[in-house]
Amino acid sequence: MNLRHIWAVTRKEFHHILRDRSTLILVLITPTALLLLMAYALTVDIQNVPIAVLDYDRSSLSRSFVQQITAGEDLQLYAQVSTLDEIENLLMHSEIKAALILSPAFASDLLALRGLPLQIIIDGTEPESGAFAVDHIAWRAEEFINTAVADQIQALGFSIESLHPIDLRIRTWFNPSLKPRNDLIPGLISMVLGMPALSVALTLAHEREHGTLEQLMATPIKRSELLLGKMLPYIIVGLVNVIVIPIVAMLWFKIPFNGSFALFFVLSAFFLFAILSMGIIVGVFMPTQAAALALSFLVIFFPGFFLTGIFFPVASMPEMMRMEALGLPGTHYAVITRGVFLPGVGLEVLWPYAVMLVGLGFAFTGVAALFFKKKLG
């Protein structure tokens, strides 16, 4: 392998990237911009969920309970109603997402230690908001028992612990605040860093379309040297994004980074090698830029969005989709980014995913070389 030949192709590709403004934007600016856009679009924290309350008890204790439930910014008391028909009407018009019903025996049952009788109706068309309301009502009900009625229960000769036969203590590791963004953004990095694959696919298709790739093939440069020379500039530019994007994630979104940045950098290079190999296959296979763009979205970005575990666990997918997911570099890189960012795991945990990325990279490069031979002689 002639290093001078590789450098000649690499230098030509760098000149193209710097000269073509659209390519420069695509590989250098678009990944960060896309991360910002998707992070805000896909991670909206739920708050101010409107609820209605139907209080059959109408006691001072039930009124205090309603005030406790709606005291924060998580739940908003939209209306206090008198009948179930009013609740149905509010739900039908999407004015509330949940309704809380207190029984006529709310106070007496609670003080007699017969439990906290509650009924909750949620809007099934928005299950996330409904589940959020249920969780927060349960949480605030627990607080209410521990504060508002503690003195009355103790006056009856009982301890407050008697209401809690199960001592459930929950500890959340790696993401204690349970912010969806802390989990989603490291996963999204695997998607936005794939943008150079689109650029290399479009560049190769453009050269095929205009005949310049055939001219390169007529020179003494070997196919392997041409492939490597084409890939290196985009790996280098991609590694610039590997530095910039985690900084944006940490400073702008306050995402914790608990692992080794050196390890993250090296494994990101493996990912870029694998994903760019996929882009080269697309660019060599498709004869025009339009066709390369369509195929890139079909085989790289759409599967990268839905099948890599960013939004849906791979283990929950049908077997055929799981097999397809294992063949995507993003599936393995998403595990790496989340592992490095949140729990801060090292190579002793991440090495199988690194091996998969290297293996996929060589496999895709081999396929690309075969296409070079078949398509371009």
What pLDDT score does 156 carry?
61
What pLDDT score does 275 carry?
94
With H, G, I as helix, E, B as strand and everything else as coil, classify residue 221: coil
Beta carbons of 366 and 278 less than 8 angstroms apart: no
Tell me whether residue 211 is exposed, middle or buried, using C-beta atoms within 10 angstroms of its C-beta: 0 to 12, 13 to 18, 19 or more. Answer: exposed
Interacting residues of 58 by C-beta distance below 8 A, sequence separation 6+: none
Which value, in Å, is the radius of gyration of the alpha carbons in the chain? 29
- DSSP assignment letter at 121: E
> How do the pLDDT tens digits run along the chain, 377 residues long?
677 778 888 888 888 788 888 888 888 888 888 888 888 877 656 778 899 999 999 988 888 889 888 887 788 899 999 999 999 889 888 788 889 999 898 888 777 767 677 888 888 766 777 788 888 888 888 777 766 566 666 666 666 555 554 344 555 677 776 677 888 899 899 889 988 888 888 888 878 777 776 676 667 777 778 888 888 999 999 999 999 999 999 999 999 999 999 999 999 999 999 999 999 988 888 888 888 888 888 888 888 888 898 887 887 788 888 899 999 999 999 999 999 998 899 999 999 999 999 999 999 988 888 877 665 55
Question: If you search the block for the tokens 């229960």, which residue do you land on?
Answer: 153
Stated as kind and residue range, the H or E segment containing 303 is helix 302-306
Beta carbons of 231 and 12 less than 8 angstroms apart: no
What pLDDT score does 266 carry?
96
Domains with residue ranges and CATH for the chain: 3-43+185-376 (no CATH), 49-163 (3.40.1710.10)
CA 375 to chain centre: 37
What pLDDT score does 354 carry?
96
Task: Report which of 269, 267, 276, 247 is spatially closest to residue 364, judged by C-alpha positions.
Answer: 276
Beta carbons of 85 and 91 less than 8 angstroms apart: no
- Region class of 132: left (phi > 0), else alpha (psi between -120 and 50), else beta: alpha
